[in-house]
Structure 1
Amino acid sequence: MFQSGINLDLLTVGVSVAGTGLLGFVVYFSNRKSLTNKIFFIFSMVTLAWGVTNYLNYNINNDLLILWTIRFVIFFAVLQSLSFFTLMFVFPQEVIIFPKWFKIGVIPIAFATAILTLTPYVFSSITRVPGDVVSHPVPASGIFIFIFVALSLVISGFVVILRKLNLAKDELRSQINLIVVGVLIMFTSIILFNLILPVMSDNTRYIPLGALFTFPFVIFTAVAILKRHLFNIKVAATAVLVFILSVVLLVEVIFSETLLMIIFRGCVFFLFLVFGINLIRSVIKEIRQRERLEVLRLKLEQSNSDLENANEKLKGLDKLKSEFVSLASHQLRSPLTAIKGYASMVVDGDYGEVNKEAKDAISRIYESSQNLAKIVEDLLNVSKIEQGGMKYDMAPFDMNEVAESVTKELSIVAEGKGLKMNFLSEGVKDCMVNGDKDKIRQVVINFVDNSIKYTKTGEINVKVEKVGDKVLFSVKDTGMGMTPEIKATLFQKFARGEGARMNTSGTGLGLYLTKEISEAHGGRVYVESEGMGKGSTFFMELGAVK
């Protein structure tokens, strides 16, 4: 059985070492991209190794093992001093570019000194004073190099952190204050228990407990680093739970009575540490994912808010546009009517005879003003639809009569282009629909007029028929036809398809208006075509009056 004093020392060192290791992993996993976190992790692992070898050095009896353990103690002490200085240098930055003097000066000297400590040039052998149970290493000339390098790194690190404290403000200042407190507690404890007590009272009882004296610095520095990243309470609770359970398992190892039980419980303790570190890592990962999701959610909400604001602005601009178009169209109506009227009077000879050239020019003026008046009318209608101001005078009427009337009116235009116009539903009855006769007439005119415009040769067939409870109006031509891609967008605002090449006077609003008017009547419009050069058939479907 172990002696109670040794057990208590081992428990103290074990708790400090386990806590140091756990904090190192917690800080590292909290932000693996941060250089400060990486250096703290390295410092924690080196401190852990230093604490274990320092304890073993005072609890073994073989002189050769003692010599090598003390060599490894000061080997890790050099690396600990280097990692301490580096941590003070980089804190609290996540990314930093090390200067040349650090890369080609500090690091090579520190590693060369660390390697030197493993040679006889620092401690050459072990000697025992008669009557003294403690072995004493015999120092060599290299010990002065070790002392100079280790103290230089530690003192320089302390000076660096004090300078940062002097320049720091607000939250960063409170973080550095924590580190300074940890440094002061660590060095005060080491000086008191590892230097003053052994020298003044020859009491080496506390030298093996070096890990305990560095533990406060590890704690305060870990808190300072994690505080910068708003450490989650869930991670803290998990780390504390793992630490407490680790201590309980360590106590069981220390107070085991048989070697077999020590080995078994030691394996359980080690496996639990591995499990605990992975548990903390998974908790941190989960929290990071939640934080990223929360950031994405906030960004999505902001984007939605921005889109809503942009949409409201667009609606406002669209309303202003519609109002402007309506106003401009109204203002254009009067002068266009005057132009058409006077041009017609001149052509008809109301102002006297004019020669043929002048009459042709005035006729073109009349036709152009007629086209412009149609465009203005389309713009007005679109403006009314978009503002919800389009009014419909609904009443039953015969769709066949409307179609036949429009066909007769436009047949003169078709014949002028050498096209044959056929009305295939003469005498057909029972094609009554309920709607605004003038608006539906506008749709019929648009379909027939488009067929005339976009058909070079052949014929145009106008037809009205009753299909079930629907009245179907159609205009079939032998014109240019269209592709499926054109069909998909043809009834959209300002869509003109390939027809724009044949007729440049259109606006792309006519078919859009036919769609809006037919849908306002509970009907629909659509087009069929077998392809380019194979003609098209335009349909308007309305509900029949029962």
Structure 2
Amino acid sequence: MELGILIAAVVGHSVLAYIALANNPQSFANRAFVILNVSSACWSIATYFSIQAVSQESALFWMRLTMFFATPQAVFFLLTVATFPEGRIGFSKKLYYSLLAMLAVTVVLTVSPFLFTGVTGEVGNFQPIIGPGMLPFVVIAIGSVVTGCVVTVVKYVRSSGILKAQLLGLLVGLGLTFLLIVVFNFVLVVVFNNASFVSFGPLFTFPFLIAIAYAITKHGLFNIKVIVSEVTVAALVAVNIGQLFASSNTSEIIFRSITLFLVTLLGYLLVRSVQNEVSRREEVEELAKEKTKALAELEQRNKNLATLQKISRLVLDEIELKPMAQKILDEIPRQLENCRGALLNLVKGGQLGAYAISSTEITEKIYHLVGADIGKYSYPLKGGFNMLHEALVSKQTKESANFSEFISPPISKTLALTLQKVMGARHVVAVPLTSGVEPLGVMMFVFKVTKDELSSQDMDMIHAIADDMSIAIQRAEAYQKLKDANEYLAELDKLKDEFISMASHELNTPLAAIEGYLSMVLEEGLGKVDKRAKEYLQRAYDSSKRLAELIMDLLNVSRIEQGRLKMKFVKSNLYDLAESVVHELQIKADAKKLSLKLVADRAKVPETWCDADRIREVFVNLVGNAIKYSERGGITIKVYGDAHKVTAEVQDTGRGIAKIDQKKLFQKFSQVKREQDQQHGTGLGLYISKNFIELHKGRIWMESEEGKGSTFAFEIPVLKAAPKEVEGAVLEDDRTLNKLQSPNSKVPTGQDVPNSPLERRLG
């Protein structure tokens, strides 16, 4: 029975050695597996003969030979599991050659008296005498077995799919085999001098053989079709060779020879076809793997693009830096599977300080350890302070598995180690943020995997995110500067409006008095005036009137922009307002020999509620401009309407306005400059008119062609009653207006000088 077990073990190991060598002779793992099986087969043979020895000398020889083969058996078990399934040595050559050197020394020790100095006992119960060489043997052999089991367990835990199943077969088979050998063929013999189980040594290799066979057939450890075909052909050839040697005559020898040739040839062709089929299948599987890998990379690339698009949208949608940066940081651990979060540090006033951190399930723990006010960790930017500072100073990405190198100082290394454990950080990357040569800050990414496990796509992503963050910071800073500038300009504009309003009011009182008294003198209410003196007084009166109009325009602009313009809505007919303007400006038109006419049917013009004074002022501005800029022909005013709106047009035969100048109209202080114009206005008339019309919920526009005159028009809605409020203005009732206009003072001012044009305009 013992011989049968030995033969089965030797054949099993030999077959496995052949399969591994034939499957891939270039693989280091396969070559190590071959040596492992050859060593196991030889170890089984030596173990068998050590039991069958009939003398102490032969027993000592076979015992030493058993230990001789046990040493490479253990070492190549370690090399097999260490290089599976990659097929190459995954550790340094220095360590590999050191292991081989220790193997060579130990092998020499096993056949010397240093391991077994002699043998005691009788036939069937020989016991070895342990020498000083047993210690290095234990270190190498037992150490290799234990290390191999640990490596297999680690690989099994980290693997998945078919590889996990294959590793499980190796782990169970090899582990159980070496456990049995170590316990029963080493510990019992060396420690307890009990050799009762040594004869079962070949049987202990069966778990290994059974597990490997299961892995081959169930999980495709090797190419089973090639193996079966080769073994089958070899068996047929062996049978035919045996029959050839058993032939008794010439004709039978010839027949057996032909049969052997045909079997060998057909067997060779069969093996080749199976190998070709397997090769093609492997190519298909490889292509499928490449396709799957390509699809996975494409999917990851699309995911990365979607992430960058999302972050880009955040940059575009948000304006304020704080919420923008926080949203980007919060998105990072959601989109990057291996990233635990990120920290943004910004440069302010030459100091680099923490600004914001990703919000995750561990953020509260981090705040509890370092404090919620992370902005307090701000220090002058200098190289060598820590890796965050170093990354920004050198403008290079910095990486390390040690978290404390990035935050210590200012945080203590003990606290940094605690933070690293809380976050599960295994690798940290710091990416500098710059704008040209100007440093902006640093982004620190914390990963839960090692550097070797990080893909190139992960690194590309964090640099792309850092670039987006740089753009976000620059955009936010530009916005803040623009906001500050706008606020400053708005404050200046407010001060300007207040100054104009105050100055206009201060100028109004003396100017109204001057204009009033001049008017009374010119009307000779105080007696006859010399003709020459009257001419000078008229010029002074005209100048004061123009100045009063300028002040009124400035006051209107100030009131409009501050929302303090007072409006009083009364039921009016725009025909009457236009007619009054024609009467007022007829003298100016006659002076330039221009016709001025109103074309309208009063009965067909619908009445509406409006501020008559403001609408009349619009008419005055439009007609006055038409007269000013017309040299011949005339001005026509049209008024018409329907149930919904009233429209007024002022047409002239003047010079017209170029397309490029038309865009400037209706803007504050905007004028169309012409060399032939002797007088220029303030550029406020059309701006004020536009605002008056818009306060009535109407619109104003113009049409013109250079050299063919212009048409200015406006329309306002037909209202059946006065509005209760006007957005951007103050509504006044009759009592308020009467109070403002009550002439009780004896000293003439802008509010009480009789017949003052300024008084009439203010009314």
- On the 8 A contact 1:333/1:373 being kept in 2, the answer is yes
**2:471 matched to which residue of 1?**
296
The one-letter code matched in structure 1 to 2:562 is Q
- On the 8 A contact 2:697/2:717 being kept in 1, the answer is yes
Deviation per residue, 1:126-180 (Å, 9 max, x gap): xxxxxxxxxxxxxxxxxxxxxxxxxxxxxxxxxxxxxxxxx985426999xx99x
The one-letter code matched in structure 2 to 1:171 is N
Identity within the alignment, %:
35
The one-letter code matched in structure 1 to 2:453 is L
Q: Using a 3 Å threshold, how does the CA distance of structure 1 residues 232 and 52 change in structure 2: closer, same or farther?
A: farther
- Larger CA Rg, structure 1 vs 2: 2
Q: Using a 3 Å threshold, how does the CA distance of structure 1 residues 535 and 169 change in structure 2: closer, same or farther?
A: closer
Deviation per residue, 1:406-458 (Å, 9 max, x gap): 11111111001111111111544443121111111111111111111111111
**1:446 matched to which residue of 2?**
621
Matched, 1:506 2:681: yes
**1:325 matched to which residue of 2?**
500
Q: Using a 3 Å threshold, how does the CA distance of structure 1 residues 468 and 523 change in structure 2: closer, same or farther?
A: same
Q: Using a 3 Å threshold, how does the CA distance of structure 1 residues 411 and 500 change in structure 2: closer, same or farther?
A: farther
For residue 467 of structure 1, report the CA deviation from its aligned partner: 4.2
Alpha-carbon distance between aligned partners in 1 of 2:429 and 2:584, rounded to the nearest angstrom? 88
**1:347 matched to which residue of 2?**
522
Matched, 1:532 2:706: yes
**2:509 matched to which residue of 1?**
334
Q: Equivalent of 2:665, from 469, 475, 490? A: 490
The one-letter code matched in structure 1 to 2:544 is S
- On the 8 A contact 1:404/1:426 being kept in 2, the answer is no
Matched, 1:15 2:90: yes
Superposition pairs of residues 36-55 of structure 1, within 5 angstroms: none
Q: 1:400 aligns to what SS in structure 2?
A: helix
Alpha-carbon distance between aligned partners in 2 of 1:352 and 1:459, rounded to the nearest angstrom? 39
Q: 2:654 aligns to what SS in structure 1?
A: coil
Superposition pairs of residues 158-177 of structure 1, within 5 angstroms: 170-171=385-386
Q: Equivalent of 1:237, from 424, 449, 453? A: 449
Q: Using a 3 Å threshold, how does the CA distance of structure 1 residues 470 and 227 change in structure 2: closer, same or farther?
A: closer
Matched, 1:375 2:550: yes
Alpha-carbon distance between aligned partners in 2 of 1:168 and 1:316, rounded to the nearest angstrom? 43
The one-letter code matched in structure 2 to 1:478 is T
**1:432 matched to which residue of 2?**
607
**1:77 matched to which residue of 2?**
none
Q: 1:410 aligns to what SS in structure 2?
A: helix
Alpha-carbon distance between aligned partners in 2 of 1:168 and 1:476, rounded to the nearest angstrom? 75
For residue 307 of structure 1, report the CA deviation from its aligned partner: 3.2
Alpha-carbon distance between aligned partners in 2 of 1:293 and 1:174, rounded to the nearest angstrom? 20
Alpha-carbon distance between aligned partners in 2 of 1:543 and 1:299, rounded to the nearest angstrom? 48
Counting matched residue pairs gives: 323
Alpha-carbon distance between aligned partners in 2 of 1:231 and 1:15, rounded to the nearest angstrom? 31
Q: Using a 3 Å threshold, how does the CA distance of structure 1 residues 7 and 534 change in structure 2: closer, same or farther?
A: farther
Alpha-carbon distance between aligned partners in 1 of 2:603 and 2:660, rounded to the nearest angstrom? 35
Q: 2:563 aligns to what SS in structure 1?
A: coil
Q: Using a 3 Å threshold, how does the CA distance of structure 1 residues 285 and 52 change in structure 2: closer, same or farther?
A: farther
Q: 2:663 aligns to what SS in structure 1?
A: helix
Alpha-carbon distance between aligned partners in 2 of 1:399 and 1:224, rounded to the nearest angstrom? 78
Structure 2 portions without partners, runs of 5+:
1-30, 36-71, 102-381, 391-397, 400-425, 433-441, 721-763
Q: 2:694 aligns to what SS in structure 1?
A: helix
Q: Using a 3 Å threshold, how does the CA distance of structure 1 residues 172 and 303 change in structure 2: closer, same or farther?
A: closer
- On the 8 A contact 1:482/1:498 being kept in 2, the answer is no
The one-letter code matched in structure 2 to 1:483 is A
Alpha-carbon distance between aligned partners in 1 of 2:496 and 2:638, rounded to the nearest angstrom? 38
**2:461 matched to which residue of 1?**
286
Alpha-carbon distance between aligned partners in 1 of 2:711 and 2:481, rounded to the nearest angstrom? 44
Alpha-carbon distance between aligned partners in 1 of 2:637 and 2:490, rounded to the nearest angstrom? 40
- On the 8 A contact 1:411/1:421 being kept in 2, the answer is yes
Q: Equivalent of 1:521, from 696, 699, 715? A: 696
Alpha-carbon distance between aligned partners in 2 of 1:368 and 1:168, rounded to the nearest angstrom? 72
For residue 394 of structure 1, report the CA deviation from its aligned partner: 1.2
Alpha-carbon distance between aligned partners in 1 of 2:598 and 2:635, rounded to the nearest angstrom? 9
Alpha-carbon distance between aligned partners in 1 of 2:389 and 2:596, rounded to the nearest angstrom? 92
The one-letter code matched in structure 2 to 1:490 is L
Q: Equivalent of 1:420, from 592, 595, 612? A: 595
For residue 488 of structure 1, report the CA deviation from its aligned partner: 2.4
Q: 2:637 aligns to what SS in structure 1?
A: strand
- Which protein, 1 or 2, shows the higher relative CO under an 8 Å CA cutoff with sep ≥ 6? 1
- On the 8 A contact 2:431/2:466 being kept in 1, the answer is no
For residue 9 of structure 1, report the CA deviation from its aligned partner: 7.5
Alpha-carbon distance between aligned partners in 2 of 1:415 and 1:340, rounded to the nearest angstrom? 25
- On the 8 A contact 2:627/2:635 being kept in 1, the answer is yes
For residue 342 of structure 1, report the CA deviation from its aligned partner: 3.3
Q: 2:706 aligns to what SS in structure 1?
A: coil
**1:407 matched to which residue of 2?**
582
Q: Using a 3 Å threshold, how does the CA distance of structure 1 residues 500 and 379 change in structure 2: closer, same or farther?
A: farther
For residue 470 of structure 1, report the CA deviation from its aligned partner: 1.4
Deviation per residue, 1:105-134 (Å, 9 max, x gap): xxxxxxxxxxxxxxxxxxxxxxxxxxxxxx
**1:384 matched to which residue of 2?**
559
Alpha-carbon distance between aligned partners in 2 of 1:496 and 1:437, rounded to the nearest angstrom? 26
- On the 8 A contact 2:606/2:643 being kept in 1, the answer is no
Alpha-carbon distance between aligned partners in 2 of 1:507 and 1:294, rounded to the nearest angstrom? 49
- On the 8 A contact 1:400/1:431 being kept in 2, the answer is no
Q: Using a 3 Å threshold, how does the CA distance of structure 1 residues 53 and 501 change in structure 2: closer, same or farther?
A: farther
**2:715 matched to which residue of 1?**
541
Alpha-carbon distance between aligned partners in 2 of 1:371 and 1:305, rounded to the nearest angstrom? 44
- On the 8 A contact 1:447/1:475 being kept in 2, the answer is yes
For residue 357 of structure 1, report the CA deviation from its aligned partner: 4.2
Alpha-carbon distance between aligned partners in 2 of 1:401 and 1:441, rounded to the nearest angstrom? 9
Q: Using a 3 Å threshold, how does the CA distance of structure 1 residues 55 and 382 change in structure 2: closer, same or farther?
A: farther
- On the 8 A contact 1:454/1:499 being kept in 2, the answer is no
**2:540 matched to which residue of 1?**
365
Q: 2:451 aligns to what SS in structure 1?
A: helix
- On the 8 A contact 1:400/1:428 being kept in 2, the answer is no
Q: Using a 3 Å threshold, how does the CA distance of structure 1 residues 299 and 225 change in structure 2: closer, same or farther?
A: closer
Q: Using a 3 Å threshold, how does the CA distance of structure 1 residues 423 and 226 change in structure 2: closer, same or farther?
A: closer
Alpha-carbon distance between aligned partners in 1 of 2:389 and 2:712, rounded to the nearest angstrom? 78
Q: Using a 3 Å threshold, how does the CA distance of structure 1 residues 393 and 54 change in structure 2: closer, same or farther?
A: same
CA RMSD, Structure 1 to Structure 2 (Å): 3.8
**1:471 matched to which residue of 2?**
646
Alpha-carbon distance between aligned partners in 1 of 2:443 and 2:711, rounded to the nearest angstrom? 69
**2:23 matched to which residue of 1?**
none
Q: 1:476 aligns to what SS in structure 2?
A: strand
- On the 8 A contact 1:425/1:465 being kept in 2, the answer is yes
**2:254 matched to which residue of 1?**
none
Q: Using a 3 Å threshold, how does the CA distance of structure 1 residues 288 and 7 change in structure 2: closer, same or farther?
A: farther
- On the 8 A contact 1:523/1:541 being kept in 2, the answer is yes
For residue 52 of structure 1, report the CA deviation from its aligned partner: 9.0
Deviation per residue, 1:168-201 (Å, 9 max, x gap): 85426999xx99xxxxxxxxxxxxxxxxxxxxxx
- On the 8 A contact 1:410/1:449 being kept in 2, the answer is yes
Q: Using a 3 Å threshold, how does the CA distance of structure 1 residues 241 and 371 change in structure 2: closer, same or farther?
A: same
- On the 8 A contact 2:667/2:686 being kept in 1, the answer is yes
- On the 8 A contact 1:400/1:429 being kept in 2, the answer is no
The one-letter code matched in structure 1 to 2:609 is N
